[in-house]
Amino acid sequence: MNGRIRCLSPGSLGLGYTGGGGVNSRALAGFVLGVAALLASSLVPLPASVQAQGSTPSGAREVQVRARRLASGNVEFGLRVTNPADGSASYLTLIHRFLLYNHSRTVVGKWYYSEVVKVGVGAGATLVEVRARRLASGNVEFGLRLFKKTVWLPRFRYLIYGSARPGGPWQYSSVFTTLTSPPPSGGVSPSPPPSGGVSPSPSPFAVGSRCASGTPVPNPAHNPGLVNDCIALLNAKPHLSQLPDFAADPISGVNWGSSRPITAWNGVYLSSTNPKRVNRVKIRGLTSGIPSEFGELNALEELNLFDGRLSGSIPSKLGRLTNLKYLIIAGLNNQSSRLTGSIPSSLCRLQSLERLELTYHDLNGPIPSCLGSLSKLEWLELRRNDLSGQIPSTLGSLSDLEKLHLHDNDLSGSIPASLGSLSNITHLNLADNDLSGTVPSSLLSSFADLVNLDLSGNSLSSWAPSSLSGIHSVSGVTLDLSDNDLSGQVPATLGTLSNAGGNVYVLLSGNQFSGAIPPELANITQLFSLNLSGNNLTGGIPSALVSHANLGYLNVSDNALSGAVPHGWARKTGWKSHNLILSNNNFSGSIPAQLSQAGNIYRLKLDGNGLSGNIPSALGSITFLRELDLSGNGLSGSIPSTFSGLTNLEVLGLSGNGLSGSIPSGLGGLTKLKSLKLDGNGLSGSVPSQLGGLTKLAILHLQGNTGLTGCVPASLSTYIRVSGIWPVVTEELDADVQVPPSLTTSGAVKWCAS
């Protein structure tokens, strides 16, 4: 009968002990007496089918589970049945006792069942059953069942530890009285054993009595709910482990125990109103699984497990926390130990949930469509997992949703048009998935408070947004659709994004847009950053963008733009600056000296074009400049001596031109310089000894200048060899020195004598 055993023979089933830490038989006996007294005094409300002594109707019987560890290492279970009327007791006969063997064929986590026994007579009669299973820790968990409703009573589940004395006396559970009223809905069904190793803790056998002792829970007779919370947390504690730094921290380390008040337990917070309950649990740096016992904290409003290396799966039992408002289970980036499995559909029962965050894990499978029924949800974050399938259209029903982060998964299919109904959305991030098709035209039209829309790193093919004039976020707006397959012209309707406050960022790089840059983009009053790099754009840069007062970052590199380099840029002063990145296009003509009138320019990149003529000496007056790259053009003449005034310069690129003359000694005064590329020109004369003062230099390219003579300052041999990780505005530099044959000896750099 499905694993039920009337008479057990050796080898039929078993349960072994690993010798893991635990308690002795005296502690076990103390638990039995303590819990019995606890229940008898009604400190913990008993289920309808379980009442204390003194309220026993005629025909009812008092039942206890008893267990002992035999000398063989096996565990024997039985029942003691007492008639309250006369105090007489009877026990199951030997043939009906439940014996769990200690051998290798025992399946860890599998429940084994006793025979069903009828207890009591008449109106007080009921059927009861014992079950037991071996845990990964080596302990044995056993419980009692009311058979009429097949409900396992959570308060009659106990542990017997592997260290219990072999051949010791019988140990008894608390007492319950059989009645005919239905069992409680709070019974528990079989659950999997805890995953991962657990360290021994004080015996959960005595949890009930310890939580009601008056120390962890004040005035326990008037705080039965808090006693239950205490029991759940102490039962969960053996399954918890933390990263060493957090475990040793007096603030974040899990210090739960019966010797200190629950108000002093780290990460445990009580409600402000009476009766007191545990309503928040916040633990940092867990390295274990998530204990299913957390699912018994039925007043919990926040469960926050963050910065951890969690393992195992998300317990479906968390779906019982119907008062939960915040469920945050966040791992650490770049960690190999993460949660696995799917998102349990039981979480859809959490109808009070306002924030659900499951990030930096290896969760897989689809996003449960039933999450769309969580009508109070304001924040849904499932980023950095392995979730697959389509984005459920039901998420469009979450009318209160403000943040939806699904990026860095394996989601596919199209973006549901229903997401356009999320009228309260501020952050929508679907980046780095495998989404395809058309971006719904309605996606932005109703997003009045939008702050960030990130669809980058997908395979989206077209986008024709309708009017964006309804977006009026005061915190600025970012639209990122970079690294897709978008084609056609850049949507001119982007210019209707004119009512947003704060800086506006439009990022469309790495697509297949063609045609001219629409001048309507200049209508975005607060446009601060425009990145159109890596497309197939043609024509020039619209004059309205050149004179745009707020534009501080313009990247149009790697297109097919042509014409002269624009001048007349709006002047930037104070903390404001320009980043003008026009690399790898077809711009021609000379570099306009008027660029110096633009005020603060942080980066000026004109490399990879067809520019000619001399380098304007006026560029030496842009003292704010950090990066100047004019490489790969047809420039001629000498390097302006005025460059000695660029004292903030970190990168100077002049390679691949037709420059002549000597290297200005004033470059040796640019002490912040990390990269100096002068290769591929016609420079001549001696290498200035002043370059030896460039103590942050990591890259020096002089090759291709056959007229250079002398030697490279010896001090650079130290700096360049050790300074290869100096950060720069564009990249991290590798240590590198390249010089022409005239500065080498047998293929080695000719260093000056020190």
Whole-angstrom Cα distance, residue 355 to residue 333?
20
Whole-angstrom Cα distance, residue 278 to residue 304?
13
Whole-angstrom Cα distance, residue 319 to residue 191?
14
Summarize the confidence of residues 16-35 as an average pLDDT: 28
Whole-angstrom Cα distance, residue 387 to residue 360?
11
Q: Does the structure show a pLDDT above 60 at 320? A: yes
**558: which DSSP letter?**
S
381 φ/ψ angles, rounded to the nearest 5 degrees: -130, 110
Query: Per residue in 289-303, pLDDT tens?
Result: 999 999 999 999 999
Whole-angstrom Cα distance, residue 591 to residue 109?
76
**Of 132-136, 198-202, 506-510, 559-563, minimum mean pLDDT range:** 198-202
Whole-angstrom Cα distance, residue 78 to residue 114?
9
Rounded to whole angstroms, what are the CA distances from 77 to 19, 128, 161, 177?
20, 13, 14, 19
The label of the residue with tokens 């240590």 reads: 735
Whole-angstrom Cα distance, residue 196 to residue 624?
57
More confident site: 576 or 525: 525
Q: Report yes or no: 137 and 163 within 8 Å, Cβ to Cβ.
A: no
Whole-angstrom Cα distance, residue 547 to residue 550?
9
Instruction: Mark out the alpha helices in 155-223 (DSSP H runs).
Output: 207-211
In this predicted structure, what is the pLDDT of residue 175?
60
Whole-angstrom Cα distance, residue 385 to residue 339?
9
Strands 736-738 and 560-564: unpaired
In this predicted structure, what is the pLDDT of residue 195?
34
Summarize the confidence of residues 631-643 as an average pLDDT: 97
Let me know if 236 is exposed, middle or buried by CB neighbors in 10 A (0-12, 13-18, 19+). Answer: buried
Cα–chain center distance at 168: 49
The candidate with the shortest Cα–Cα distance to 529, out of 547, 565, 554, is: 554
Task: Give the tokens for residue 4.
Answer: 């039920």
Please name the helix (run of DSSP H) or strand (run of DSSP E) that holds residue 30, with its range, or none.
Answer: helix 25-40
**Of 116-125, 238-247, 352-361, 501-510, minimum mean pLDDT range:** 116-125
**Of 191-200, 251-260, 383-392, minimum mean pLDDT range:** 191-200
Q: b/e per residue, 238-256, with b = 16+ CB within 10 A?
A: bbbbbbeebbeeeebbbbb
Q: Report yes or no: 418 and 393 within 8 Å, Cβ to Cβ.
A: yes
Q: Report yes or no: 513 and 489 within 8 Å, Cβ to Cβ.
A: yes
**692: which DSSP letter?**
G
Query: Per residue in 394-445, pLDDT tens?
Result: 999 999 999 999 999 999 999 999 999 999 999 999 999 999 999 998 888 8
Q: Report yes or no: 418 and 425 within 8 Å, Cβ to Cβ.
A: no
Whole-angstrom Cα distance, residue 588 to residue 612?
7
Whole-angstrom Cα distance, residue 314 to residue 290?
7
The candidate with the shortest Cα–Cα distance to 313, out of 288, 289, 297, is: 289
Query: Per residue in 36-45, pLDDT tens?
Result: 222 222 222 2
Q: Report yes or no: 637 and 659 within 8 Å, Cβ to Cβ.
A: yes
Whole-angstrom Cα distance, residue 602 to residue 629?
12
More confident site: 61 or 691: 691
Summarize the confidence of residues 243-247 as an average pLDDT: 85
In this predicted structure, what is the pLDDT of residue 105?
60
Q: Report yes or no: 422 and 404 within 8 Å, Cβ to Cβ.
A: yes
Q: Note the maximum CA span of the chain.
A: 117
Q: Does the structure show a pLDDT above 70 at 51? A: no
Would you call the peptide bond into 275 cis, given omega within 30 degrees of 0 as the criterion? Answer: yes
Would you call the peptide bond into 200 cis, given omega within 30 degrees of 0 as the criterion? Answer: no
Confidence class for position 103, pLDDT limits 50, 70, 90: low
In this predicted structure, what is the pLDDT of residue 180?
37
Task: Give the tokens for residue 184.
Answer: 């409680």
Angle at 623 between CA 736 and CA 605, to 5 degrees: 55
Whole-angstrom Cα distance, residue 136 to residue 138?
5
Confidence class for position 745, pLDDT limits 50, 70, 90: confident
Task: Give the tokens for residue 472.
Answer: 């009026």
Rounded to whole angstroms, what are the CA distances from 4 to 8, 160, 578?
10, 21, 79
Contacts of 244 (CB under 8 A, 6+ apart): none
Question: pTM for the whole thing?
Answer: 0.72
In this predicted structure, what is the pLDDT of residue 171?
65
Q: Does the structure show a pLDDT above 90 at 202? A: no
The label of the residue with tokens 């079989």 reads: 190
Task: Give the tokens for residue 320.
Answer: 């019982």
More confident site: 42 or 364: 364
More confident site: 667 or 202: 667
Whole-angstrom Cα distance, residue 170 to residue 161?
14
Confidence class for position 3, pLDDT limits 50, 70, 90: very low
Q: Does the structure show a pLDDT above 50 at 4? A: no
What percentage of residues in the chain have a pLDDT greater than 90?
54
Whole-angstrom Cα distance, residue 562 to residue 459?
29
Whole-angstrom Cα distance, residue 498 to residue 381?
29
Q: Does the structure show a pLDDT above 60 at 376? A: yes
The helix, strand and coil proportions of the chain, stated in percent and rounded to the nearest 5, come to: 20, 30, 55
In this predicted structure, what is the pLDDT of residue 519?
96
Summarize the confidence of residues 658-679 as an average pLDDT: 95
Q: Is the dihedral angle over the CA atoms 719, 723, 729, 734 positive or is it negative? A: positive
Q: Does the structure show a pLDDT above 50 at 242? A: yes
The label of the residue with tokens 């745009």 reads: 548
In this predicted structure, what is the pLDDT of residue 145?
67
Summarize the confidence of residues 91-100 as an average pLDDT: 56
Q: Does the structure show a pLDDT above 60 at 100? A: yes
Average pLDDT, whole number, for the chain? 80
222 φ/ψ angles, rounded to the nearest 5 degrees: -105, 5
Whole-angstrom Cα distance, residue 222 to residue 44?
10
Strand partners, 65: 79
Whole-angstrom Cα distance, residue 195 to residue 476?
46
Q: b/e per residue, 349-375, with b = 16+ CB within 10 A?
A: bbebbbbbbbbbbebbeebbbebbebe
Q: Does the structure show a pLDDT above 80 at 311? A: yes
Whole-angstrom Cα distance, residue 713 to residue 695?
11
Whole-angstrom Cα distance, residue 436 to residue 430?
12
The candidate with the shortest Cα–Cα distance to 733, out of 647, 653, 614, 616, is: 653
Can you give the length of the chain in residues? 754
Q: Report yes or no: 448 and 424 within 8 Å, Cβ to Cβ.
A: no
